[in-house]
């Protein structure tokens, strides 16, 4: 007996699991005889599938009960549209539909409203990125994605930025065991002209000790205000690589500045 966890009044430890053979029999009854009983059995026998998908959406700020119900809507759509003759496992067909339903819910309930055209461009870019990743040995950059879609790279950058989840100004972006660097530490106040010139000198001297690629990344990110996606497109590497190199460069920069103190 598994541990009792209730979601939307459902005891998840008691959810049934149907074998592939049982599923096919029930689908035949539902599709040939219109059996509501068979349909209900299929829904109940696949609620664990919804639970497994929910693990991908932890810490999204949405009540788990709400996401579970939305996932169930995706499950029911998959059940009603499943083609038994295709000889495809139901889970293979259902999981993308459940994920899609939850993503639509999160997108439509985002407190920051994003136009439909921007959302469509962003999701086309993400789908193309996944397609190119499956066909290549390296991560595609924004220029390659833009070329495949026939969309200007700047439009893709703007669309991808628009669908990013908002974060707190007190979100740590770097931590080396000492004082963390927060988002607010990287926001410039244009109204404050009282610059600490001694600190600026120390930073410039520390920058000279970084290698060329680290200096370029920090310059693009914090002097020109580019996003990590834009930097990735400029340099020709993935956003994940930019993130790793940026963190390492900030660590080196912080170390060199402390040496001057």
d(CA 137, CA 106): 31
Distances (CA, A) of 87 to 76, 91, 93: 19, 12, 11
The CATH code of the domain that includes 42 is 1.20.120.1810
What pLDDT sits at residue 203?
Answer: 61
Closest CA to 12 of 100, 72, 76: 72
3-class SS at 151? coil
Verify that 221 and 253 share a domain, yes or no.
Answer: yes
What is the count of structural domains for the chain?
3
Domain boundary among 108, 125, 143: 108
Verify that 158 and 179 share a domain, yes or no.
Answer: no
Distances (CA, A) of 165 to 60, 111, 162: 9, 9, 8
Instruction: Scan for tokens 């009854």, then name that residue.
Output: 29
The pTM of the full predicted model, rounded to 2 decimals, is 0.45
What pLDDT sits at residue 42?
Answer: 92
Verify that 104 and 120 share a domain, yes or no.
Answer: no
| Residue 120, domain extent | 116-162
What pLDDT sits at residue 116?
Answer: 74
What pLDDT sits at residue 70?
Answer: 92
Verify that 79 and 150 share a domain, yes or no.
Answer: no
Here the tokens at position 190 are 């244009």
Verify that 213 and 249 share a domain, yes or no.
Answer: yes
The CATH code of the domain that includes 144 is 1.10.10.10
Q: State the Rg of the chain over Cα.
A: 25
What pLDDT sits at residue 174?
Answer: 54
Give a yes or no: residue 79 inside a domain.
yes
What pLDDT sits at residue 184?
Answer: 52
Give Cβ neighbours of residue 205 (< 8 Å, ≥ 6 apart). Answer: 256, 260
Verify that 148 and 226 share a domain, yes or no.
Answer: no
- The total number of residues shown for the chain amounts to 261
What pLDDT sits at residue 77?
Answer: 92
Verify that 148 and 179 share a domain, yes or no.
Answer: no
Give a yes or no: residue 55 inside a domain.
yes
Give Cβ neighbours of residue 184 (< 8 Å, ≥ 6 apart). Answer: 169, 170
pLDDT tens for the 261 residues of the chain, in order: 344 445 556 666 677 888 888 989 999 999 988 889 999 999 999 998 898 888 888 766 678 888 889 999 999 999 999 988 887 888 888 998 899 888 888 877 765 566 778 778 888 888 888 888 777 666 788 888 899 999 998 888 888 877 665 555 555 655 555 555 555 555 554 444 444 444 555 566 667 777 888 888 888 887 777 888 888 888 888 878 888 888 888 888 777 666 655
What pLDDT sits at residue 3?
Answer: 43
Verify that 122 and 96 share a domain, yes or no.
Answer: no
**Strand pairing partners for 7?**
10
């Amino acid at each position: 007996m598994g541990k009792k966890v209730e979601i939307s009044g459902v005891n998840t430890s008691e959810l049934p699991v149907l074998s592939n053979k049982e599923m096919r029999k029930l689908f035949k009854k539902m599709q040939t005889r219109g059996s509501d009983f068979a349909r209900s059995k299929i829904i109940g026998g696949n609620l664990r599938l919804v639970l497994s998908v929910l693990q991908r959406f932890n810490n999204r700020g949405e009540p788990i009960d709400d996401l579970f119900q939305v996932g169930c809507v995706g499950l029911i759509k998959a059940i009603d549209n499943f083609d038994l003759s295709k000889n495809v496992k139901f889970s293979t067909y259902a999981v993308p539909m459940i994920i899609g339903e939850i993503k639509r819910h999160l997108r439509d309930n985002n407190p920051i409203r994003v136009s439909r055209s921007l959302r469509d461009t962003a999701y086309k870019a993400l789908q193309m990125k996944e397609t190119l990743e499956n066909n290549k040995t390296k991560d595609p950059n924004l220029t390659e994605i833009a070329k495949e879609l026939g969309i200007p790279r700047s439009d893709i950058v703007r669309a991808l930025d628009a669908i990013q989840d908002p974060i707190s100004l007190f979100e740590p972006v770097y931590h080396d065991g000492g004082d963390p660097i927060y988002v607010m530490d990287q926001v410039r106040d244009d109204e404050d002209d009282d610059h600490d010139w001694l600190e600026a000198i120390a930073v410039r001297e520390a920058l000279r000790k970084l290698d060329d690629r680290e200096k370029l990344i920090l310059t693009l990110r914090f002097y020109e205000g580019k996003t990590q996606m834009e930097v990735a497109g400029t340099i020709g590497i993935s956003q994940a690589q930019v993130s790793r190199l940026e963190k390492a460069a900030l660590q080196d920069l912080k170390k060199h500045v402390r040496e001057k103190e």
